[in-house]
Amino acid sequence: MNSISETSSQAANPRVAWIVIAGVLLLLVGEGLWLWHQARSNSGLDQENGQLREALVRIKARTDELRTGEAHIKALYARLNDAIALRKGQSDDRLPLPRSANPNDPKADPPVIKAFRESGCEVTRSPNELGNLSVTYALGSSGIEFHRLVPLIAQQENSNTFLVIDNLTLERPESTAAFSKKPTALNARLVLRLLANP
Amino acid sequence: MKPLFVSQENIIKRAYRRDRWFRLAGGVVILGLFLQLGAAYQAIQLTIQGNSLASQSRILGSAIASANQARMKYAELEKKLAELQSWGPILTNRLPASAVLAAIEQAIPDGLVISRLSLKAVRQTPIKLSTGVFMLPRTYQLLVGGEREQGSDAGLIERFSRNLLAKMPSASRQLGQHVGAEATGRPGTFQLVLELPANGNYHSLGLSPVQQPENL
């Protein structure tokens, strides 16, 4: 090495070069990190937008479904809701009148029970309630033949979709012979439940 | 030996040009400058994309808000639909007792007569509705008791039992059968006990499935 080089190496501090290199590298790393963070945030936003788009499609589809099925839903709801029995002394949205306070008033019976009563069944309201949305009725008759009883039950089951029979017992009266050809009124006992408002 | 005719400033400049560490630093700076171009391009791209995504997000947010507003008009209808759907299990699974009675009537052969019949719910399942719980029978026990004509075919009760079981809801099973012997002057008795699941599958009773309110 000649003397000028030696002197120059002594005069210029090489640490300056290292500081420059480190500074440039730091700057590049910083920029890289910023770009990475920005890309990640964009990707998150994109994903979020995708979810919002899906939610929007779902909400619109649901609204369209409701709009299209409005008449059908209302009609079906009205039909089924009519079948829900009101507890005795309970009126739609009015305070009970003093006249209708009698829980044994047959006028307050649901139509299904009225139909059984009109067909000659004895009806008693049973205190046994399963769940908090049931009214239970015990029915008894000894004057209805099988061929009248089955259509009667079918008619009531069709008219009230929430009519559930818990117990049904049919017995031939002992006074009637086993293979009698005469029309026979059966001893019938039914326990049925109706869906009721709480 | 110190150079006498070269200034200190020139010596330092020469060091910056010739020294390998300063050359490396220079190289890194030039490389960094080139990379700055790429980084600047990327940054512009990402910023434009970010702004576009943010504006899309704002548009979508307001679209969702207005869609929700539109849906709010049907809140009452939605409530009714939810209630209809909660009634679904009752509508589909309820066992129609009249259909069971009609099936029994069709299954009775000549030579047998029924004197006692009972259909009893032995297991209930709770159906949760918006206002409470309704218990729906899940399994019924059917008891059919009667008499057999004197001198009739011995396999009559067996055939009746098979025929009856075929007409009952799917997965029904026979729990018991009792056949009493004929006594002089009195017909033989029989008793069948069947278990009927209230599972909504009532094809064998001649009923088609109820439409699920979920399909609305």
Highest mean pLDDT, choosing among A48-52, A185-189, B103-107, B183-187:
A48-52
Tokens standing for residue A55? 């939610």
Q: Report which residue type is found at B76.
A: E
CA B103, CA B166: separation in Å to the nearest integer? 10
Rounded-to-integer distance, Cα A12 and Cα A10, Å: 6
The interface residues of chain A toward chain B in range 55-84, judged by CB-CB distance below 8 A, are 55-56, 59-60, 62-63, 66-67, 69-70, 72-74, 76-77, 80
Report the gap between the CA of A74 and the closest CA in chain B (Å). 7
Q: What confidence score (pLDDT) does residue A198 get?
A: 76
Tokens read off for A94: 């009015």
Which among A179, A158, A134 has a CA at the least distance from the CA of B149? A179
What residues of chain B lie within 8 A of the CB of A62, using their CB?
71
Quote the CA–CA distance of B104 and A175 in Å, as a whole number. Answer: 23
List C-alpha distances in Å: A77 to A25, A70, A81, A135.
72, 10, 6, 20
Task: With beta carbons under 8 A apart, name residues in chain A contacting B186.
Answer: none
Neighbours of A78 (CB within 10 A): 10
The answer to whether the CB atoms of A168 and B129 lie below 8 A apart is: no
Segment B112-139 mean pLDDT: 92
Contacts of B200 (CB under 8 A, 6+ apart): B92, B93, B209, B210
Say what the ipTM of the complex is: 0.72
- Residue A101 has a pLDDT of 45
Q: Which tokens belong to B172?
A: 């029904």
Residue bearing the bigger pLDDT, B206 or B41: B41
Residue B91 CA to residue A69 CA, distance in Å, equals 19
- Any CB–CB contact under 8 A between B90 and chain A? yes
In angstroms, the CA A176 to CA B134 distance is 40
Whether residue A66 has pLDDT greater than 70: yes
Work out the average pLDDT over A31-46: 96
Question: Each residue of B128-151: pLDDT tens digit?
Answer: 998 889 999 999 999 999 988 877
Q: How far apart are CA B176 and CA B194, in angstroms?
A: 7
Q: Does B11 contact A at CB distance below 8 Å?
A: yes
A93-126: b (≥16 Cβ within 10 Å) or e? eeeeeeeeeeeeeeebbbebbebbeebebebebb
**Chain A residue closest to B14 (CA)?**
A8
CA within 13 Å, CB half, A107: 6
> pTM (2 decimals)?
0.72
- Number of A–B residue contacts, CB under 8 Å: 229
Mean pLDDT (chain A, rounded): 84
Q: Identify all chain A residues contacting B149, using CB atoms and an 8 Å cutoff.
A: 179
Q: Residue range A43-53: average pLDDT? A: 96
| pLDDT score of A10 | 56
The amino acid occupying position A49 is N
Contact B167, B192 (CB under 8 A): no
Q: What are the backbone dihedrals phi and psi of residue A93, each rounded to the nearest 5 degrees, phi first?
A: -145, 25
Shortest CA gap B166–chain A (Å): 20
Distance CA A83, CA A94 (A): 19
B170-188 average pLDDT score: 81
User: Which of B19, B68, B77 is facing A59, going by the closest CB pair?
Assistant: B68
The Cα of B124 is separated from the nearest Cα of chain A by a number of Å equal to 9
